[in-house]
Amino acid sequence: MLQIVTKSEKETENLGRELAAKLGPQSIVALYGDLGAGKTAFVRGLARGLGIKKKVLSPTFTIVNELSENGKTLIHFDMYRLSGSDELFDIGWEDYLQRDCIIAVEWSEIVDDIYTGEEIRVRIEKLGDNERRISFGGNIDADFSL
């Protein structure tokens, strides 16, 4: 498992940007971590790496935000307010999976049973005020590096 320690929010964003360059269509990035760990900062980096310059906000109340620019689409889910995967299927999860886009899911621990093993798992742990340990697992090639 690849682990990287970042020392600032900007470094966490940059790591997301680097990962975006390695993602193909229909990739799913499942994010895990406590409140304030840096999941949204990481997704902001994914968006920048895809060439999306629009503002990235956590979709805590809307559940899902769709960001499109330059022919690339990032679907950003936040599962914090869901009680489980049944609610996710009610809002059309399977339809999103059929689209030519990247899907990033915050609070994946709430809907962990939806995953098939094809997703990239990103766990973000707070080590200090600005320091984060970011671990990558799931469907990552053996030669995966950032």
The share of the chain scoring above pLDDT 90, in percent, equals: 75
54 φ, ψ to 5°?
-65, 155
Q: How far, CA to CA in Å, does 36 sit from each of 52, 55, 115?
A: 23, 18, 24
Most confident range (mean pLDDT) of 86-90, 109-113, 138-142 is 109-113
The answer to whether the CB of 77 falls within 8 A of the CB of 59 is: yes
The answer to whether the CB of 119 falls within 8 A of the CB of 138 is: yes
Answer yes or no: is 12 within a domain: yes
Question: Which of the pair, 32 or 54, is modelled with greater confidence?
Answer: 32
Answer yes or no: is 143 within a domain: no
Answer yes or no: is 82 within a domain: yes
Answer yes or no: is 34 within a domain: yes
pTM of the model: 0.92
pLDDT in tens, 95-116: 999 999 999 999 999 999 999 9
Answer yes or no: is 145 within a domain: no
Answer yes or no: is 144 within a domain: no
CATH (domain of 7): 3.40.50.300
Per the structure, the complete domain to which residue 108 belongs is given by 2-138
Answer yes or no: is 28 within a domain: yes
Answer yes or no: is 78 within a domain: yes
Count up the domains in the chain and report the number: 1
